[in-house]
Every structure is written in structure tokens, then in C-alpha cells.
Amino acid sequence: MPSLKLERPIIFFDLETTGTNIVRDRIVEISVVKVFPDERRETYTRLVNPEMPIPEGASAIHGITDADVANQPVFSIIAANLLRYFDNCDIGGYNIIRFDIPLLTNEFNRAGLSFDMTGRRIVDAYNIFCKLFPRTLSDAYRLFCGKELEDAHSAEADTLATLDVVLGQIDKHPEIGSSVDELHKFSENSNPDHIDSQGRFRWSGEDVIVNFGKYSGMLLREISVNEPGFLKWIIRSDFPDDVKKIANDALSGILPRKSDG
């Protein structure tokens, strides 16, 4: 198996959290693997009490519940030791540049500590993956049709190529199905926690929270009482009708219910 050429230790880490908001959500589990230049490894994993309820949607993904973390230390208790463990190390992980590093940085800030990234090199497997396997139509055509796409960015050529790519995907991956219904389900990229088409509002357990802007993470029912101007702004602005309807209903005291969906 290939080895990393290291000048100093590198820590690969992953976070399980209460959600995907890097400002408001909290860590419920952290796992680190420190790899040393001599190829020695140290693995450390522990649960963390996030000091907030874990939404059902998050528990459904990582399997960690409120009961699991009830007697675990809060992040501020482990923060100083964890920061020392990261000292003089480079950082690695999957999609850590956009999610894990900012969220971990915010957790350290709340604990009164600074997670300084100056001088650290970052190895993000997600970014490497995206660069190794680009997702342009020309790349898809090469992969699934075995030839180069001529006249790329010509509307007709791109349309015909897209059809050929779909046929090539069906041929190489029969598990995706070939009916339009099967392909529709496989194509779908919606988040089950999203209530509207843009994900401006989402479920947090049985509650509805705002999923964007300065009120991101706040309960819709609280905003409808304390910050009605925000909902009125949504209604006046260029949002899809389903987003505006949720805002308008909330102003009237009507909130979405999971049974409605």
C-alpha cells in the first residue's frame, strides 16, 4: 500500500454533528488519525455533548442520539487537549475545507481558543476526487461513450451528447434502471429535511427552522413572532412561490407539519 511522504505529522479527522450549519451546529463525535513520518498511527475517537438537542434527521444519519451523549464531556472540556494534539500538524479529511475545518474552528472559538491554520497544509480527499474525476459533459461523454465530444458548448451537440451519456450510463450501470421513473429517482438530489424546493426552510426534528441568512438555524415559529419583518421581506422578494407560502402561512400562525408532506 502506498505511503504518505511526511515532513511532520498529519491529522486526518472527521466530525459527526447536530447538522450542517457551520455556525450554529455542534460536534457530537470527533475521530482523528494522526499519521507520523515513520508511518506510525494514533487513532482517537470520542463522543461530545453538544449542549443542544440532536435533531432526528441528524441521528438518522450518524446513529448518535441525545441519550448517547448525555454523560459525555462538552467540547470546552476537551478543547485545550485537542488543540495541543493538533499542534504542529498538517490536516487531512474529506470535504474538510468547506465543512469540518470551519465548524471545528467555531467550536474552538466558543471555548475561547484559536485554531490557527497558518502554515498548515490541508489534504482534502473530496477536492482531490473532484479534480481527478471532473464532472463536465465532455468528461462524462468520454467516460460513458468512449470518445471525445466534438463541438462542445454547441446547444445541439450538447443535447445529443447528453442523451448518449444517459444511454451509456444505463449500459454501464444497469442497477440505476432504464425507465424514466427509475432514472428520475436516481437523479433526484433533494434533501429529505428540506421543506421547500430551495431548502430555505428545513426540518429539525418536528420543528421548522430557517436554513439561510442571519436567522439560519432559528425556529420558524419564533421568527414569526419576534422577527416578522424577515418573513415579510421573503414575501416581497424574488423567492419561489412555495417559499413565500411558508413565510406567509407562518405570519398567520400556520406552520408546516411533517404529516402534511
Whether the predicted model's global pTM rises above the 0.75 cut: no
* 10-17, strands of its sheet edge to edge: 41-47, 27-35, 10-17, 90-93, 122-124
153 three-class SS: coil
Question: What percentage of the chain carries pLDDT values higher than 90?
Answer: 71
* Confidence at residue 232, expressed as pLDDT on a 0 to 100 scale: 95
* Confidence at residue 58, expressed as pLDDT on a 0 to 100 scale: 87
Q: What is the pLDDT of residues 177-200, one digit of tens each?
A: 999 988 988 887 667 788 988 889
Number of residues that this document lists for the chain: 261
Q: What is the pLDDT of residues 9-49, one digit of tens each?
A: 999 999 999 988 888 899 999 999 999 999 999 999 999 99
CA distances from 139 to 125, 147, 171, 189, 244 (A): 20, 10, 17, 21, 38
* Confidence at residue 158, expressed as pLDDT on a 0 to 100 scale: 93
CATH number of 10-128: 3.30.420.10
Would the CA dihedral through 240, 246, 251, 252 be positive or negative? positive
Q: Which residues of 106-131 are buried (b: 16+ CB within 10 A; e: fewer)?
A: bbbeebeeebeeeebeebbeeeeeee
Q: Where in the chain is the domain with CATH 3.30.420.10?
A: 10-128
Q: What is the pLDDT of residues 90-144, one digit of tens each?
A: 999 999 998 999 999 999 999 999 999 999 999 999 899 888 888 899 999 999 9
